[in-house]
Amino acid sequence: MENSINIKLKIWRQHGPKEPGQFVEYPMNDVPTDISFLEMLDMLNEQLVERGEEPVVFDNDCREGICGMCSLYINGNPHGPVGSITTCQLHMRKFNDGDTITVEPWRSAAFPVIRDLMVDRSAFDKIQQAGGYVSFNTGGAQDANAIPIPKEAADEAMDSATCIGCGACVAACKNGSAMLFVSAKVSQFALLPQGKVEAARRVRAMVSKMDELGFGNCTNTGACAAQCPKNISLSNIARMNREYLKMKFKD
């Protein structure tokens, strides 16, 4: 009962960060439509290795849409043409026989290409290290139910905390801004009593680190939220701007 299609891949190949890259075409025949996009790339790599060539390098790990490791611009869309999923959750049944599929790495100044489709997203870690935490040492916590938190606040914090740090927001933004990513973390903590104590310090530290690392400015086009595989809302950015203003007034 298995259906299959023939496709043509146009994949960005680039051996190193400083080397020039180019698109290389790979025709792929008899691709089962039940397999995932990354399994299709596995198939391609298996064929390349059989021919003695080097496989296409791409980041991936959990293959269930949660680790944030996979990326890829597919036909001009981060994580492919289907909304609200990551590349690893995309299946070949979303493509048609005869399609040409263009596959590129995230393209952003802050995410340099390492090889082929793999990029360096360590800038995200650096922003988190600047202040994406509650300053609290293991062992000193009071009972977990000591502070009731309204369900709405907890749910909203959870929605912000759903960010998987994949970088699609930065890749989708014409300015290469990391505002959605940073604001999701700032919001999660700003919504919870545990995070409020350091809210001002946190937003200052994270925003200035973001600026320092070469991410672009936000011009409210909203491409980030539209392309986010986890539907992180633009309202996070609004909340972060309020938190930032509050911090400025305090100063």
Partner 1 sequence: MEDNKKQTGKIVDTTSIMGNYAIYSDEKVNSKIPEGPVAEKWTNFKAHQKLVNPANKRHLDIIVVGTGLAGASAAATLGEMGFNVLNFCIQDSPRRAHSIAAQGGINAAKNYQNDGDSVYRLFYDTVKGGDFRSREANVYRLAEVSNNIIDQCVAQGVPFAREYGGLLANRSFGGAQVSRTFYAKGQTGQQLLLGAYSSLNRQIKKGSVKSFVRREMLDLVVVDGRARGIIVRNLITGEIERYAAHAVVVATGGYGRVFFLSTNAMGCNGSVAVQCFKHGAYLANLCFTQIHPTCIPKHGENQSKLTLMSESLRNDGRIWVPKKKEDAEAIRAGKLKPTQIAEEDRDYYLERRYPAFGNLCPRDIASRAAKERCDAGYGVGTGNAVYLDFSEAINRLGRDVIEARYGNLFQMYEMITDDNPYETPMMIFPASHYTMGGIWVDYELQTSIPGLFAIGEANFSDHGGNRLGASALMQGLADGYFVLPYTMQNYLSDQIKVKHPDTNAPEFEEAEKKVRARIERLMNIKGKRSADSIHKQLGLIMWNLVGMGRTAESLMEAIKQIDEVKKEFDTNLFIPGSADTLNTELEKALRLEDFITIGKLMAIDALHRNESCGAHFREEYQTPDGEAQRRDDEYMYVACWKYNGEDGKPVLLKEPLKYEAIKVQTRNYKS
Residues 18-37 binding partner 1 (CB under 8 A) are 32, 34-36
Euclidean distance between CA atoms 90 and 87, whole angstroms: 5
Q: Which residue's CB is nearer to partner 1, number 41 or number 218?
A: 41
Binding flag, residue 113, partner 1 (CB under 8 A) = no
Q: Of residues 129, 208, 217, 221, which one binds partner 1 by CB under 8 A?
A: 129
* Cβ atoms within 10 Å of 198's Cβ, excluding its own: 17
- Kindly determine how many residues on this chain lie close enough to bind partner 1 according to the rule CB under 8 A: 79
Does residue 189 touch partner 1 according to CB under 8 A? Answer: yes
* Residues in 210-249 that interact with partner 1 by CB under 8 A: none
Should residue 183 be labelled a site residue for partner 1 when binding is judged by CB under 8 A? no
Do the Cβ atoms of 6 and 33 come closer than 8 Å? Answer: no
Q: How far apart are CA 127 and CA 49, in angstroms?
A: 38
Locate 201 and state its tokens: 């310090």
> Which residues neighbour 96 within 8 Å (Cβ) at sequence distance 6 or greater?
5
Q: Please select the residue that binds partner 1; options are 135, 174, 249, 250, rule is CB under 8 A.
A: 135
SS3 (DSSP) at 171: helix
DSSP alpha helices (H): ranges in the chain? 37-50, 122-131, 151-161, 168-172, 179-191, 193-196, 199-212, 223-227, 235-250
Query: Which residue lies nearer to partner 1 by CB, 12 or 189?
Result: 189
Distance from C-alpha of 43 to C-alpha of 23, rounded to nearest angstrom:
19
Applying CB under 8 A, the span of 101-109, 156-164, 218-226, 241-249 interacting with partner 1 comes to: 156-164
99 scored as a contact of partner 1 (CB under 8 A): no
Question: Least separation, in Å, of the C-beta of 70 and partner 1?
Answer: 10
Q: Which is nearer to partner 1, 148 or 249 (CB)?
A: 148
Q: Considering the rule CB under 8 A, would residue 62 count as an interface residue with partner 1? A: yes
Segment contacting partner 1 by CB under 8 A, of 65-73, 173-181, 213-221, 238-246: 65-73
Q: CA–CA separation, 85 vs 137, rounded Å? A: 35
